[in-house]
Amino acid sequence: MAVSSLFGAKVKRVEDPKLITGQGIYVDDITLPGMLYMTVLRSPYAHAKINSIDLSSALKNPNVVMCVTGKELKNEVNYLQVGWDASSANPPSKVPKRYPLESDKVRYVGDGVAALVATDKYTAKDVLESISVDYTPLSVVTKPKQAIAKDAPILHEELGSNETWNIKMQFGDFTKSFNNSDVIIKEKLINQRLIPSAMETRGVVASYNLGTKQLTLWSSTQIPHQLKKYLSFTLRISENKIRVIAPEVGGGFGSKLNFYPEEALACYLSMKTGKPVKWIEERRENMTNTIHGRDYEIDVEAGFKKDGTIQGVKCKVFCNVGAYYMHFTALLPHLTALMIPGCYKLPSLDYDCHVVLTNIISTDAYRGAGRPESIYIIERIMDLAALELDMDPVDIRLKNFPQSDEFPFTTTVGLAYDSGDYSNALNEVLKLVDYSTFRNKQKELRKQNKYIGIGFSSYTEICGWGPSAGIEATYPKTNAVLGKWEYGAVRFDPSGKVTVETGSSPHGQGNETTWAQLVAHELGVSIDDIVVLHGDTDAVPYGVATYASRSATLGGVAVYNACQKIREKAKLIVAKQFEARHEDIVFDQGKFSVKGLSEKFMSITDVAKSAFVADNLPENVEPGLSETSFYDPSNFTFPFGAIAIIVEVDILTGEIKILDYSSIDDCGNVINPMIVDGQLHGGAAQGIAQAQFEEAKYDDNGQLITSSFMNYYIPTAFELPNYRLSRTITPSPVNPLGVKGVGEAATIGSPPAFVNAVIDALKPFGIKNLDMPLKPETVWNAINNSKK
C-alpha cells in the first residue's frame, strides 16, 4: 500500500473550527418552537414494589402538559430491545427485560416510574417533587455473591434467579496443564466498577409531526441507526417513519451506545402531545442511570513451568451486571474470556463466569468493553508468576510470545490474531525507558529507603467488530437486530465536489478528517472539496455505529471500497472519452490517462462533470458518479503493544507519582498520526484513572455514594503524566487499509502496567497484589501490614 502525502499525514481536523468557536450544536443547544421539557420521576429505593402513583398534584399545575406512568405505557409500548441477549447460548442466558418505565417494581435507585412534560424546565423539575408514590421497600442486594445466596431477593421473579447466565468455557485441557505445572499462582483480582463520565451527559429532543406521522429524534448517541430499529420496535411505528440524528456528541466511550428509556419516553410523549420534547440529563442523574463499566471479581489460577512457560489459566468470575440487560451487558462477560490469552501461547483456559443481577445500574460497554478485564487478568498473572519464579517480568513475557512469523496466530480460544510482533514491541519499549539503567537506579534508591518501580503490560485486543457470519458461527446466536458490517458512500456532485457518507458515528475521533484524507488520497480530490456526513439517518441511510474500535477498520474501509468503485466507473468513462480500452486506463497522482500517454488526462473532477452531463457515456453506464459499499470484514483485527509505567511510592503516605509513561503501540497503518496519538493519550488517561483514582461505590441500600465529581475522582491535568509514545507498524492483512483500530488500546493495556509498577516498587515489602484503584490508603495499609 503506497503511502501518499495524505495517508499518514498530520492534518488539522476539519471538525475543529466550529468547536473552538463555540458553534458546535450539541443536543442541549437545540430549541424547537413549542418545545416541552421532560423530567423522569425516579425511585429512591433500590428495590421496591410500586403500589400506587398519585399524579394529581402534577396534573393540577397549568404548565404541566402530560404525565405518564409505567402501567399506562405497558399497553402502548414494547420493552427495550438489546444488542445481545445470549438467550440462544448454550446454556442460554435468562434475559431480564427492561421497559421505558417500570410498572410493578423498581430495581435500582433511579429506576423510572413516571415521566412528565411541562412548558418550562423549572416547572418540570419542581413538580416532580410533588408526585407521591407508594412503595413497599424490598430487601436489596448489591453484590453478586449476596444476590445468589439462599433467600436473596429476586429482582425479576419470572426468571427465578438473579444469576442469568453461567458461562462455562473450556479450551485445551486445564487439568493436564495444572499437572504439568511446577508452580500454581492463585490470586483474587478485582476489576472495579467505573462510571464512564463523558463530559456531555445524555440528552434527547424528540419531535413527532402529527400530520406526516414522522418521528425525529436528536440524541447524544453513538448508535443512530440502531436506535431507529429499537425505536421502531418499542414504539410500534415503522422504521421508515423514523429519523435519528446524533448532533455533536460530547464523548461517549461506550456509555452512549445504548437504547435508554428516556429516548423512548421522549418520543412517546412527543407522539402523544404533538410537540417537541426535550430531556437533558443532569450529572448526578448520569452517574446513577447511565451504564457503568467493568465490575468483575475474578479468582484466578495459573500454572507455569519453572522456566516461565505458561501452561494454563483458570478463572472463576462473578460479573455484577446490575438490574437489567442493556445493549451489550451480556456480551462482555463472554468476550472477556476470548482475550484472556492476551499476547501469549496459552495451552489451556478454563472460564467459569457467573453473570448476576443486583439492585444497581447495569454495566455495559465502557472503553475496552470486556477486554480491559482480560488483559488485566493475564498481565497481572505474568507479574505474579515472575515474582513467584524470581524471573524478570520482561523475560517471562518474552518466553511466552508467539514469534512474528507464527502469524496469523490462532489462540487456544480459536481466534486468529491477524498480525503482530510482541517481542519487538516489548524490546522497543525497554529501549525507550532505558531498562537496565532503571534497575540500577532502583537498587540505589532502595538503599536510601526510596521506592520506585516499573510495570509492564504487553497487550493485544480484538477490534473491528466484526465479521457478521463469523460472529454468529462462533458465538451463540445473538438475536441482534443488525449485522456487524459498516456502510460507506462517496458521492460526487455535478460541480465535482464530494460528499462522503459514513455509518460511523464519531464523537471526538476525528473521522471527518480521516475519511477526507482517505478520499483525497484515493481520488485525488482536495480535502477542502470533501464533506463527510454522519450521524443523521436521513443523510446516511445505513450504518451500524461507532464502538469496539470499528471506525477505521470498518467505516474507513467501507469509504475506501466506495472509492475503488468510483475509480472503476471513472475508468470506464475516461476510456470512452479517450476512445481507449478501459483496461488501458491508469490512475496516478489524481489523473486518469491512457497507459503511456500521460500528457492527456482527466482529473476525477473532470470525470464527475462528464458523468453528470452524460453526453458521452459508455453503454450500460448510468449517469452520475456515486458509489456505496457495505463492508463486512473477514476477521477481527488485533492491535497490540507494550506499555511501561514508572512510579515513585511515598511509603509514609502511600501516595503514588507517575514518573514516566512510555509505550509502543501498533495499530497497523496510520492514516492521521496526530489523531491516533490523541486516542492513545485519552485511552491512557482513562486506564490510569481506573488504576489510580476511580471507583463507583454503593452503600448497602443501593445508594450510589460516588454520585458527583466531588467524590468520583476524574483526574485533572495535574494528576496525569505526559505520554511518551512510539510506534511499530505491522499492517493488518484483514483489510486493504492495513489498519487495526486504536481507540481502546491504551485503556486496555495501561491499568495492569500501573499496578505492576506499584507492586514492583513495593517488592522489598513482599506485597504481591493490590486492588484498583490504588488509593494512598490501600498502599499504606499494605505496607504497614507487611511489616508485621
**Which x/- pattern over 681-700 shows residues binding another protein (rule: CB under 8 A)?**
xxxxxx------x---x---
Rounded Cα distance, 249 and 220, in Å? 5
Shortest CB 332 distance to another protein, Å: 21
For cell 429532543, the residue is 205
How many angstroms separate the CA atoms of 3 and 670, rounded?
Answer: 10
State in angstroms the smallest separation of the CB of 425 from another protein. Answer: 20
- Minimum distance between the CB of residue 18 and another protein, rounded to whole angstroms? 8
The answer to whether 357 touches 147, Cβ cutoff 8 Å, is: yes
Residues 718-757 close enough to bind another protein by CB under 8 A: 718-720, 722-723
Report d(CA 187, CA 457) in Å as an integer: 18
Q: Which one among 109, 775, 782, 783 touches another protein, defined by CB under 8 A?
A: 775
Using rule CB under 8 A, residue 716 touches another protein? yes
Q: Does the footprint of another protein cover residue 224 (CB under 8 A)?
A: no
Q: ∠506-507-509 over CA atoms, to 5°? A: 65
Chain positions 28 to 47 lying near another protein, rule: CB under 8 A, are: 28-29, 31
Nearest distance, CB of residue 507 and another protein, angstroms = 5
How far apart CA 570 and CA 582 sit, in angstroms, is: 10
12 near another protein (CB under 8 A): yes
Residue of 709, 729, 764, 786 interacting with another protein (CB under 8 A): 709
Residue whose C-alpha is closest to residue 643's, from 664, 625, 623, 658: 664
Minimum CB distance to another protein smaller for 24 or for 44: 24
| Nearest residue (CB) to another protein, 507 versus 740 | 507
Q: Which of residues 239-278 bind another protein (CB under 8 A)?
A: 248-251, 253
**Interface residue with another protein, options 652, 764, 766, 785 (CB under 8 A):** 652
For residues 40 and 115, give the distance between their C-alpha atoms in angstroms, rounded to a whole number: 4
Question: Helices 745-761 and 371-389, interaxial angle, to 10°?
Answer: 30
Rounded Cα–Cα distance for residues 308 and 296 (Å): 27
User: Could you tell me the three cell numbers for 289?
Assistant: 442511570
Instruction: Output the smallest distance, CB 312 to another protein, in A.
Output: 36
Strand 724-727 with 656-666, pairing = parallel
Q: Which of 708, 766, 785, 786 binds another protein (CB under 8 A)?
A: 708
Of 35, 85, 109, nearest in space to 705 by CA:
109
Q: What residues from 92 to 121 belong to the interface with another protein (CB under 8 A)? A: 121
* C-alpha cell belonging to residue 103: 410498572
Closer to another protein by CB, 137 or 776: give it.
776
Q: 3-class secondary structure for 743-777?
A: CCHHHHHHHHHHHHHHHHHCHHHCCCCCCCCCCHH
Site for another protein in 498-517 (CB under 8 A): 507-510
Nearer to another protein, 482 or 651 (CB): 651
DSSP-derived letter for residue 482 is S
Q: Which is nearer to another protein, 527 or 594 (CB)?
A: 527
Measure the CA–CA gap between 167 and 100, rounded to whole angstroms: 29
Q: For residues 753 and 745, is the Cβ–Cβ distance under 8 A? A: no
Beta bridge partners of 603: 591
Binding flag, residue 144, another protein (CB under 8 A): no
Which C-beta is closer to another protein: that of 140 or that of 689?
689
Q: Are 376 and 289 in contact, with CB atoms under 8 Å apart? A: no
Our finding on whether 383 is near another protein (CB under 8 A) is no
The answer to whether residue 126 forms part of the interface with another protein (CB under 8 A) is yes
Q: How far is the CB of 777 from another protein (least distance, A)?
A: 4
Q: Measured from the CB of residue 646, what is the shortest distance to another protein in angstroms?
A: 17
Residue 674 or 767 with smaller CB distance to another protein: 674
Asked if 154 is part of the footprint of another protein (rule: CB under 8 A), the reply reads no
Q: Minimum CB separation from another protein for residue 637, in Å?
A: 22
| Upstream peptide bond of 773 is cis (omega within 30 degrees of 0) | yes
